[in-house]
Amino acid sequence: MRLFGAPGEPLAAALRELMNTPHVTLVVAEDDNGVAGTAQLTVLRGLAWEGATRGLLEGIRAARRGVTSALLTWGIDEARRRGCSRLHLDSGLKRADLREFYARFGFEQSYQGFTRVL
């Protein structure tokens, strides 16, 4: 929770729910100082892309870029292992350094979606 900067019951409730959702996998990277990073992979199947299975990788938070690299590599490998034909990475578009970093892992900026607050 420290990495997400929002400790408290709403985040704890989300964590409990996600840990009990079969198509969601959460990983935590640790080092000698404790938690060094997190990532969440959600495997989805829908009618888009002819019913193909796809992954959504999000919630990557890390104290160091080496940890981020390890979490991205895990997400790519795990999505492939679970039969995903594509992997979406949920990340902000504002930081050019992140776009370049993700590109080194084969991610292309393919679209910008829409969001509506409810």
Q: What is the mean pLDDT of residues 74-92?
A: 92
pLDDT exceeds 70 at position 82: yes
Measure the CA angle with vertex 55, ends 49 and 57; round to 5°: 140
Give the pLDDT confidence of 40-81 residue by residue, as tens digits: 999 999 888 788 999 999 888 887 778 999 999 999 999 999
pLDDT exceeds 70 at position 33: yes
Fold for 9-104, please state it: Aminopeptidase (3.40.630)
Q: How far is the C-alpha of 84 from the C-alpha of 50, rounded, in Å?
A: 13
Spans of all domains in the chain: 9-104
pLDDT at residue 110 in the model? 77
Q: How much is the mean pLDDT over the chain? A: 85
Q: How far is the C-alpha of 36 from the C-alpha of 67, rounded, in Å?
A: 7
**Per-residue confidence at 3, pLDDT binned at 50, 70, 90?**
low
